[in-house]
A and B are shown apart, each in its own frame.
Chain A
Amino acid sequence: MRRPFSYKLNIFLFLLPALILFLGVLIAPIAMSGYYSLTEWNGLGTPEFIGFQNYVELFTSKSINIMRALKNVMLLALLSVCIQLPFALLLALKLSQHVKGERWYLAIYFMPVLISSVVIGQLWIKIYNPEYGVLNTLLRSLGLDSWTRIWLGDKNVAMGACLVPILWQYVGYHMLLMYAGIKGMPPELNEAAMLDGCTPGQVSRYITIPYIRPILRVSVIFAVTGSLKSFDMIYVLTNGGPNHATEVPSTLMINLLFLRNRYGMGSTIAVMLIVLCFVFALLINFAFKEEK
């Protein structure tokens, strides 16, 4: 009679360290953020409990303007799914067809993922420089002077200018995920399709892409949640400027937490981000299940 109990006890004891780590590193900070989001706190002294006032202020305050930040990350998420992932898929499909120098291309496309966002940000700041930047210099040399812009300083184009390096940086990451999925396919599937007279395009469309659907689902989840959490590149390129035109929830959160000493409101944005990422991950899972 003691055996099942001791068996369960053993399982519990072996899982305990991981459970403690999970609770301490993941759940406790989220719970703490949840608590602080219900308080007015400047980071010093005792937090004052104010209920859901921070949430009300977050969605009604014109100076915080969370809707602008959400609009920016939604645009990024949309472009990630509609431009970045199809492009990554095209690259993965092409590279998996035994092209010459396959390994080299893989390394080259993956390189931006390995380089620090700060370095990439600095590189693009130079590219966008209105005076000596490559972009404006190129436009001027083509006689397109009227197209030159202060790319990171003009509120009408700054967000677009930020999106380009963000999308560019992670193409290689998604490409590698998809490439690994394609390479994991049994070769007989493709061979059988070819024998049946399928063109390479038809093989990709009807065999390869459906086969790597689980990978595509993961890529979409990563792209969307990554867009919602985007921070580093925006921080380096514009820090949310000019005049908050490129603000995303994470830069807004940093601004409120560390520049304005509004730890309660910063925690509110943190909670909102967690909920959004969770909801979007569920929705994407649901969408892929439906297709199944």
Chain B
Amino acid sequence: MKKLLALVLAAMMLLGMMSFASAEDVELTLWSIAVESDASYQTYIDGIAAFEAANPGVKVNHETTQNEQYKTKIKAAMSAGTDLPDVFFTWGMSFLGDFVNADRVLCLDEYYDAYKDDLAKNMCANATYDGKLYGVPYTMSCVVLFANMDLLKEAGWDHIPETIEDMSKCCEDLKAKGIVPFGVSGKELWCLSEYLEPLMIKSIGTQKLIDVYEGRESWDNEGIKAAVTAFQDYVKNEYFDPNAAALGNDEVKTNFIAGKYAFYQNGSWNCGDISKSENAASFKAGLFPVLNPDNASLYELIGGPNNTLAVTATTEHKEEAVKLAFELAKFMSDADYKSGANLPCWTADPEAKVSDLVAQVVDIAGKAEGMVLFGDNFLSADAANTYLDYIGLAFAGEIDAEGFCTGLAAELSK
């Protein structure tokens, strides 16, 4: 009897272990930048929970690292080629491109068909290399001119200026009322590019700007010079916060929300923070006017799908990892859109309730006649930093438009 009991107990233990093994037989590691302060933090948690619920037996270990440190961490891991996650967050174009070139990323072409109805091919352009898909974008963003309409009204304007001449006149009116027209961080150079790049695209047009970034067109051209001249004129005319050089982007955004600046030109990802403010009704999203109507139109935008999930080529659980990348991206596209954190890359829920500001940005993005990704994402890491350095020099008045164009043409042609 004792032997029989022991046998039954042993069998039960074995069965228990087997069922435990099957319940936890796949563990996936996901690396992202969604630390607690990140706008997408909760969305990641909810998305992972939904994925685990829909895929019993798959557990996702989510490891988060702050933005700048993450760049170092993922590059070091990719460089070593060991201890890589199964799925990882990445930016598109050159950032992911370096990993693709090093054969560290799984090609997703054979899996895309299952999701093609919800994820348009053109949304995947920034994660496509030599015609092959290597990443799943989940949100897109574009540069928007946020305006404080209460301050504009104080200066006698009931709308965002629609021509470049009106913009200058509006800035003068704002200055006369003691209001700083533009808020920008001069400390974080990418913030300066959020002002210069819309001027560049509205001076030379979408295709020509892409040609400049890709080296088919020289930086030393009249259209870029006109954009840099306009940018520097705004600096000389003191349209920017005179303390810009000492301010970080978060401080500038806080100042804008607090009513210190009339305009704040930055990414659409700010919609969430601005919409949640007490005076959200004062804000409106618009676009910077066209600099040269012969070459460009109002709805040629800077931005595009950029936040992306990719699968490492070395993952031991290819099917599950790919499924996680696509399913999580789809979930996050929808959830981030509803929370105002970003615009969707995947087909959006038409019934979704979003803030007025997000609705305005969606309207702008829907009318887009051309889009070019942020220059510092488009260019390779080395070139992007040289480019940002030149923008900083132009903002500080250390070089003029001529120096900007000839200098960049010489530096980036090496």
Q: Do A and B come from one complex?
A: yes
Assuming the A-B contacts A44-B102, A155-B396, are A63 and B411 also in contact, with contact meaning beta carbons closer than 8 angstroms in the complex? yes
Q: Decide: A150 and B245 in contact? CB cutoff 8 A.
A: yes
Interface membership of B386, Cβ < 8 A? yes
**B399 CB to nearest A CB, Å:** 10
| A154 interface contact, C-beta 8 A | yes
B389 at the interface (CB under 8 A from A): yes
B396 touches A150 (CB 8 A): no
Interface residues on B, range: 20 to 34
| Closest Cβ neighbor of A238 among chain B residues | B187
B223 interface hit (Cβ, 8 Å): no
Instruction: Tell me, yes or no, whether A243 is within 8 Å of chain B by CB.
Output: yes
List the one stretch of B71-79, B139-147, B266-274, B279-287 in contact with chain A: B71-79
Whether A153 contacts B186 by the Cβ 8 Å rule is yes
A130 within 8 A of partner (CB): yes
The A236-280 residues at the B interface (CB cut-off 8 A) are 238-239, 241-244, 255, 258-263
Enumerate chain B residues within 8 angstroms of A241, measured Cβ to Cβ.
187, 392
User: When the two chains form their complex, are residues B246 and A129 in contact, meaning their CB atoms are under 8 A apart?
Assistant: yes
Question: Is A261 within 8 A of B98, CB to CB?
Answer: yes
Interface residues in B236-254 (C-beta closer than 8 Å to A): 242-247
Contact of A153 among B75, B78, B187 (CB under 8 A): B187
The answer for the CA separation of A131 and B245 in the assembled complex, in Å, is 13
Inter-subunit contact A244/B389 (CB<8 Å) = yes
On whether A153 and B243 interact (CB within 8 A), knowing A63-B411, A243-B396, the answer reads yes
- Segment 61-116 of B: residues with Cβ below 8 Å from A: 71-72, 75-76, 78-79, 98-99, 101-102, 104
Residue contact B243 to A44, C-beta cutoff 8 Å:
no
The residues of B that contact A44 with a CB separation of less than 8 Å are: 75, 78-79, 98-99, 101-102, 104
Q: Measured between alpha carbons, how far is A243 from B399 in the docked complex, in Å?
A: 11
Task: Give min CB distance, B240 to chain A, whole Å.
Answer: 12
Task: Flag if B98 contacts A262 (CB, 8 Å).
Answer: no
Q: Please indicate which of the listed interface residues A42, A131, A243, A262 has the most CB atoms of chain B within 10 Å of its own CB.
A: A243
Q: Residue A128 contacts which of B104, B246, B382, B393 (CB distance < 8 angstroms)?
A: B246
- Determine whether B314 belongs to the interface, using a CB cutoff of 8 Å to chain A: no
B332 to chain A: closest CB distance in Å? 26
Cβ contacts under 8 Å, B382 to chain A = 260-262
Q: How far is the CA of A150 from the CA of B243 in the complex (A)?
A: 6
Contact with B along A35-56 (1 / 0, CB 8 A): 0000000111100000000000
Chain A residues in 8 Å Cβ range of B398: 243
A152 within 8 A of B: yes
The distance in angstroms between the C-alpha atoms of A150 and B99, with both chains bound, is 40
* A151–B187 CA distance with the chains assembled, in angstroms: 12
Closest Cβ of chain A: how far from B390's Cβ, in Å? 9
CB-CB under 8 A for A259 and B385, given A130-B246, A242-B396, A243-B396? yes
The reply to whether the CB of B381 lies closer than 8 angstroms to some CB of chain A is yes
Q: How would you classify the secondary structure of chain A's contact residues: helix, strand, loop or mixed?
A: loop
Would you give the 0/1 interface string for A125-153, flagging 1 where the beta carbon is closer than 8 Å to chain B? 00011110000000000000000001111
Report Cα–Cα, A131/B101, bound state, in Å. 47
Distance in angstroms between the alpha carbons of A92 and B247 in the assembled complex: 39
* Docked complex Cα distance between A44 and B380 (Å): 14
User: What are the residues of chain A within 8 A of B79 when measuring CB–CB?
Assistant: 43-44, 263
The docked-state distance in angstroms from the alpha carbon of A167 to that of B47 is 49
Q: How many of chain A's residues touch chain B, expressed as a range?
A: 20 to 34
Write out the residue numbers on chain B whose beta carbons fall within 8 Å of the beta carbon of A131.
243
Cβ of B98 and Cβ of A153 under 8 Å apart? no
Residues of B within 8 A of A259 (CB): 71, 381, 385
Which one of A243, A255, A261 contacts B393 once the chains associate, using CB atoms below 8 Å? A243
* Contact status A154-B75, CB under 8 Å: no
Inter-subunit contact B392/A243 (CB<8 Å): yes
Contact B244 A153 (CB under 8 A): yes
1/0 per residue, CB under 8 A from B, across A185-220: the answer is: 000000000000000000000000000000000000
Contact of B246 among A63, A153, A243 (CB under 8 A): A153
* Complex: A239 Cα to B126 Cα, angstroms: 30
Residues of chain A with a CB closer than 8 A to B101's CB: 44-45
CB–CB A261/B75 < 8 A: yes
Cβ contacts under 8 Å, A244 to chain B: 389
Interface residues of B in 134-192 (CB under 8 A from A): 186-187
A129: chain B residues within 8 A (beta carbon):
246
Residue on B with the closest CB to A261? B381
- Interface readout for A42-77 with B: 1 if CB under 8 Å, 0 if not? 111100000000000000000100000000000000
**Which one of B186, B245, B385 has the greatest number of beta carbons of chain A within 10 Å?**
B245
Q: Cα distance A243–B397 when bound, in Å?
A: 11
Q: Which chain A residue has the least Cβ–Cβ distance from B79? A: A43
Q: How far is B412's CA from A63's CA once the two chains are assembled, in angstroms?
A: 11
A43 touches B389 (CB 8 A): no
Question: Are A150 and B246 in contact, CB atoms less than 8 angstroms apart?
Answer: yes
CA distance A239 to B247 in the complex (A): 13
What separation, in Å, do the CA atoms of A124 and B80 have in the docked complex?
Answer: 38
State A241–B75 Cα separation when bound (angstroms). 24
Rounded to whole Å, the gap between the CB of A237 and the closest CB of chain B is: 10
B residues less than 8 Å from A43 (CB atoms): 75-76, 78-79
Please give, as numbers and ranges, the residues of chain A lying within 8 Å of B78 by CB-CB distance: 43-44
Which A residues are in CB contact (< 8 Å) with B411? 63
**B393 A151 Cβ-Cβ under 8 A:** no
Least CB distance, A247 to chain B, in whole angstroms: 11
A150 to B98, CA, bound (A): 39
Least CB distance from B262 to A in Å reads: 18
12 example contacts (A-B, Cβ-Cβ < 8 A) are as follows A44-B78, A44-B79, A44-B99, A45-B102, A130-B243, A153-B243, A241-B187, A242-B186, A243-B392, A243-B393, A243-B396, A261-B381
Which residues of B are in contact with A by a Cβ distance under 8 Å?
Answer: 71-72, 75-76, 78-79, 98-99, 101-102, 104, 186-187, 242-247, 380-382, 385-386, 389, 392-393, 396, 398, 411
What 12 new A-B contacts, CB under 8 Å, besides A42-B98, A130-B243, A263-B79? A42-B381, A44-B75, A128-B246, A150-B243, A153-B246, A153-B247, A239-B187, A243-B398, A258-B71, A260-B382, A261-B380, A262-B382
Q: What are the 7 tightest A-B residue pairs by CB atom distance, in nearest-first order? A: A153-B245, A153-B246, A44-B102, A260-B382, A261-B381, A43-B79, A130-B243
